[in-house]
Structures are given as structure tokens and as C-alpha cells.
Chain A
């Protein structure tokens, strides 16, 4: 029981030392102390935004869009495949009601051929070989093509991955310090930017899908018809962007335009009048398409469409052959810059909505830390004094254990890269409470055993053994609670749970194992006849 062979002592001290060393950079930071030498490793503890200040934004994707977009794409593919089949297969109008495509094959004899053509298009690209679409033929000639759940989920998954990448690229362009961008759940992205206290800029940047299109203006549409929402077949009405120069809406050809996703660069610049614009450079394929479009349509206007809104609709004065173009549309320097960043980092495959936003001013953050640390110091000193006054030498052992415990928790959190938040401090208080409690339990038990007349070594042994049972039970229940909180809880509750779980493990180590080693050393060396406890 009180036997600690050398190898065990070395091992325990080693573990303690590692924990404490890991905490040193964090202590340096929390003390607001000087710079940390760059050649040393510096696993600092992350401070949550509620402590350090900064912006937290939760984005939610409109996953229903994925379904629509896939349906649209499938419609195009089906039309093209059947048209290009040999012999061409004629179909009636494709309806996209109820989330599925349905159309008639005109000639009954071609039903099998149509199925042959369509079948390869329904297979997933994934390795699992799952089917992304199902084809059903009803009433002999009517085809129904509907997406499978597995295919849809995979598509949402892909869209979310891409969206997360795009968000990361855009935020990186802001040049902020250590942003955190992580996917959360099926359809959400968490963005945390420490130190940024103006989330408007961030939101402006992330709110843009940045889907850029160049579409020909349908000049046959009469303004009076457009106002009533009537357009020629093959065209659609798009509104002008709020800050664009035009008013109202304009009719554009649905097909035949160019997608702006074949860009190699986008930069904010100025036009000859000094107004901010965005200069874009196409890649080879995009440049070629752009050249063809502009060559064939000289003298006609084309609309520059961003996220379904028309920025401007200039006339094509001459073919644009160099693969470079400029986008104008009533920009400010900031909005042109934001658009350039968005275009450079690619379009979001899916719209993102801000569903939660939290900002903490840096003043408050710094203030919180200072006050929080001060409070914990003062409270801590009171506890240490009290422990010493109550248990003397044994209280001192407990105190050293508590101090080491705090350091080791900090060290482990820093090493694991976890984040300390305000509720985390609650976890800290509770952990210190249980660590103190463990020593109180042990020491009270030793007092009791002495009172009952046990001899010194025996009293200590029994004290540790008997107290340990309650300590273990109490701590296991708390760990169970902590794990469940971590699994089910969100945000702050997780912050609490992490500290709790780490803290309980370390507090048992420091409060029970380390103090026992010290007590054993004391008993061996001094062989006291009585205990002052």
C-alpha cells in the first residue's frame, strides 16, 4: 500500500513533469507575459471566443437546393442523351413535379432503347456502386426518374465538403489569425475567428454564393411584359442587384451563356472613370467559350449575373479574345474586393444562411480573462490556506497536488488542442472541488482511524484504502455524466464536459496517487510516532 519502488516513483514524477511542462506556454500566455521563444514548442491552450473575443458564426446550408440542382442537371442530361441517341428518341415535355422527372417517350418501340440510354446515367460515381437514381416505366411509355436517398445524401455530403473548402479559402483571404472552420452535423459549418469583432465583413463574404454567369439579353421581350412576368419561351426574368445601376428586371436567355466557374483569377481594379470593378481572367477553356460568345454577339448586350441577380448588362462592343474581362456594377471598393475574393475562392455549391452569430468584443474578452484568473487565484489561495490550517503537513501535500492538478489539466488541454470557455471554468471549479474533496476524504479518514486507536502507518493505509472507494465511485459517476454531456450537448456544455473529463482523471492521479507517494516517503523517512493531522 505505502510501498513505492523507485521505478514507480520515477514514472509518477515523469508523468507529472510532462503535464506541467505542457502547461508552461499556456501559463505564459494567461499571465499576458512576454513572447514565447519561437524555437520552443508552444502548445498554448485555446481560449474560447467568450474569453478571448472574436466572432463565431454558424452557417446552415439549404440542402433542399441540392435536390433541385440535381434534378435540373438530370433534366439537361436526359434531354441531351436521348437527343444524341442513335436513332434519336423523341420525348414529350419533361415535368419535374414531386422531386422527380417524368416524361413520355413518343414511340412505344423506343421505350427499351430509352431505358438502355438512361440506365448508365443512374449509377453513382462512388465506390459503393450504389444507384443514385431509379427509373420506373409506368403505363408503358411514361418514364419516372427519381433520386434515391443514398444518392441524394452523397450529393449533399459532397456539396458540404466543397462548401467548407470554399468558406475556408474565403476566410483565409481575409488574412485573419487562426480561424477555425469545421463542419458540424449534416448541413452546418462553424466559423470562428478570434479577434475579429466586426462580423459584418465576414457575413458579407460568406453570404455570397458567387455563382457568376454571363447570359445573353433577350431583346425581344417588351419591358411591359417583363413587368408582368411574361417572357418569351426559353428566356427568364432576372432582377437587377440592389446596388446595380439598372432598375427593375431584365429578360435573359436561359441557355447558351457561360458559367463563371472557369476562372483563374479575380482582382479588384478600377475602370477608366475610376469606379471600382473586378477584373477576371478565364482559364483556357473559359477564355475560348467567352471569345466565341462575344464574337457571335457583337453589338448585343449581355448580362453579368451574380447569384441570380443582374449586376450590369453592357453591350458587347467587340469580341473579347484575351480571356480577360471586367465586371462592373456599381461596386464600392469593399464590395468589389469581397466579390473578387469570392470569385477567386470559387462558388459555393449550395447557399449558406447565418443561423447563429456571436461576437465578443476584445476588451470584454481580455477583461474576462484578467478578472477570471484573479478570482481563481484569490479563491485558490484561500482554499490552500484553509487546507494547510486544517491538515498541516497533509494539507500541504494536498495543496501541492491541487496546484499540480491545475497545471496538468492546462497542459493536457493545450496538448489536445481543446478550448477553454466560460463553462470550462465551471468545470475547473468543480474539478478543483473534487480534487480537494478527495484529499479531505482521505485526511478525515486518517483522523478517524487515528481516533479509533490505529497506529500511524496503519491509519494512513486504511485511510487511503477506505476513502478510495468513495472517491472512485464519485469520480466514475462524474465521468459518465461528462461523457454523456459531451456526446449529447452542444457548445458550452461540451466545453464544460471536456474540462470535467480531463480534470477528473488528473485529479484522481494527483490527489490520490501523488499524495500517497509523498506520504509514504514521509512515513519511511521520519517514522513518526504520531501524526499531526
Chain B
């Protein structure tokens, strides 16, 4: 049996030659992402803005009557709903905002009445509808969830950067952090652009992206570190190309296998996981790209070279020798 080889043995793609154009493209994409987030905004779910969300499946039809449903619910007098398909075409999520600035007990009463009215309305007008879930989050809790989510993200990113700084060199910590910011920005941009619902589960997806991207970056960095010690005289660009090429079979293999699971989750898994799996799948592309084109070239600009790892070691060696009285 012949074994599968995704990358031929003598592959030598000069990735780093295109570092400047790619950096410009990436910076533009990051700016565009933030622009999209600021202008379009994220389609925040009730987790983050508070309110009511009802999920329903129209079991007997192939497609949910979204327009009719919107009119019907708006007719109830609680304001206009945000109705979205998710997963299968016959599955919808219906979101309602809650009025702000009122006594929480009153809002709670209103929320209950609203949900009951909507559920009753749907059950009378649309036989065969199945209510899959009702979420109700108060404004206070939702802003807390948002804050703890963001805090967790930030804390994780900072700690990661510090670890890499300690294990490698500060330039590598900066590079890894930059790659992470790049990946998170682009993912946020994707959500701003597609207006897919952004809830706490998506934050978990972004965390998975960070984890994956980091894995990729560290594998490349580890090889760079190894090669820096091995090939003292090699120009930095060549060395980075070599490192990326050497790790390329692994990069492709791992991306493919992870994508296989995600694609299965997207198309076979439950509707609730679609956005979530799609986000991670997107993140894998971006994460792989960023390890090669964002995390590696930045080392050139931050002036990493073969001396970066040597001085501290030889200094330590020397001190040790001095201590032993050999010098």
C-alpha cells in the first residue's frame, strides 16, 4: 500500500517573498473588519443585549414562513421581532428586545406576557410548530456576560503572550499576539458582515480559534527556533521559508483533519452548532494563514536573528564557567 503524501518531499515555496503585500492585505482586512464591526455592528444575541429569544421549528413545512411570522408577531404590539433562520430552512429564532430603564420586576412580567403571547400566537396560527427553546436574559446579566466574556478573552491572550515571551523571546510573544489579534479581528469581521448571530457560544468558538491558531504558530516558531540554532549563517528570510516549508506537511494534515470534523458538524450536526462550527472552520483558514504570513514575517521586522537565542545562553554558560572557576 502506498501512503498518502500531501506535500511532496522537496517542496520549497518562497512564502516570505510575498510578506509585504500580504501584510498590507491583512492590515487592510483587519481595518475593514473593524470598520464592519463599527458600522454594521455585530448581530448580538440575547446573551449580550438581553431580551427574549424563542427558537422554533416548523415541523410540517420545509420552509419557515418568516414574513408572515414577522407581521403576526409585530401585530401583537410588543414591537418588531428580529427573526432569523438558523440551520435548516424550517428553523427560526425570534428575538424581542425588552424596554430599558424600568423596574426589573415589571420588565420580567412583561417578558413573560410577551413570550406567552408569541407562543400562543404561533401555536394557533401555525399548526405543526414546535417550540424548541425560550431564553430570557435581563439587561444586567447580559452586560455582565459580555464583560466576563471579553475579560476572559483578553486575560487568555495576554497570558499566552507572556508564556511565549518567556519560552522563546519577546519578539515571538509579540508575533503570536499579533497573529491572534488578526484572527479574532477577521472572525469578528465575518460575523459583522454576515450578521450571523453572535452569542456566548460564538465566544467559545473564537476561543477554539485562538487555541488552534496558537498551536499552529507555536509549531512554526518551534521550528524557527530550532533552525536559528542550527543554521547560524542563514539569512532570516531564507530561514523562515525553510521553517515554514518543513512544517508545511503537518500544517496541511492537521488543518484538513480538523476541518473534516467541523464540516461534519456544520452539515450533519444540530442547527445550533452551525454558526459555531462555521466560525471555527473559518478560523482554521485564517489561523493557518496568520501563522505563516503574520507571525513569521514580523520576526524579521522585529530583528530576530541567529544571535537572538545565543547570547543569553552563552552568557549563562560563561557565568557558570566563571562560577566553576574555569575561566
Contact = CB atoms under 8 A, between A and B. Distances in A.
B26 interface: no
Contacts of B167: 473
Given A360-B132, A426-B204, A474 B268 contact: no
A39 interface: no
A491 B200 contact: yes
Per DSSP, are chain A's interface residues mostly helix, strand or loop, or mixed? helix
A212 interface: no
A202 B88 CA distance: 31
Contacts of B262: 379, 429
Given A199-B134, A474-B215, A489-B148, 10 more contacts: A50-B272, A354-B108, A358-B134, A386-B4, A429-B208, A481-B211, A484-B152, A490-B148, A490-B200, A532-B3
Interface of B: 1, 3-6, 9, 55, 57, 104-105, 108, 112, 130-138, 140-141, 144-145, 148-149, 151-152, 155-156, 159-160, 163-164, 167, 200-201, 203-205, 207-208, 210-212, 214-215, 218-219, 221-223, 226, 246-247, 249-250, 253-254, 256-258, 260-265, 267-270, 272-273, 276-277, 280
Given A374-B268, A390-B3, A360 B145 contact: no
Contact of A496 (B57, B145, B159, B208): B208
B155 A488 contact: yes
Most buried by A among B9, B152, B167, B256: B152
A359 B222 contact: no
7 contacts: A355-B141, A363-B130, A376-B269, A433-B215, A447-B249, A478-B214, A488-B148
A282 to B, nearest CB: 31
Contacts of A392: 1, 3
A436 interface: yes
Contacts of A378: 264, 268
A480 B219 contact: no
A451 B249 CA distance: 14
A470 B145 contact: no
Given A371-B269, A429-B280, A480-B156, A448 B246 contact: yes
A476 interface: yes
Contact of B215 (A356, A360, A434, A489): A434
Contacts, number: 242
Given A426-B280, A430-B212, A489 B149 contact: yes
Nearest to B268: A375
A372 interface: yes
A16 B163 CA distance: 30
Contact of A493 (B105, B137, B152, B164): B152
A110 B8 CA distance: 99
A492 interface: yes
A325 interface: no
Interface in A362-416: 363-364, 367-368, 371-372, 374-376, 378-380, 382-383, 386-387, 389-392
B136 A356 contact: yes
A492 B204 contact: yes
Nearest to A402: B257
B196 to A, nearest CB: 15
A427 B55 CA distance: 24
A25 B65 CA distance: 42
Interface stretch (A164-172, A233-241, A316-324, A437-445): A437-445
Contacts of A441: 219, 250
Nearest to A475: B215
Given A361-B133, A376-B264, A429-B261, A493 B149 contact: yes
B9 A451 contact: yes
The 8 closest A-B CB pairs, nearest first, are A379-B264, A423-B204, A379-B261, A375-B269, A470-B222, A364-B132, A489-B152, A488-B152
A466 interface: yes
A353 interface: yes
B135 A358 contact: yes
A387 B257 contact: yes
Contacts of B160: 477, 480-481
A72 interface: no
Most buried by B among A356, A386, A491, A533: A356
Given A358-B134, A500-B211, A492 B201 contact: yes
A23 B246 CA distance: 38
A376 B260 CA distance: 10
B222 A473 contact: yes
Contacts of B201: 422-423, 426, 492
A429 B3 contact: no
A490 B149 contact: yes
Given A478-B214, A490-B149, A379 B263 contact: yes
A474 B204 contact: no
A473 B176 CA distance: 13
B135 A481 contact: no
A194 interface: no
B155 to A, nearest CB: 5
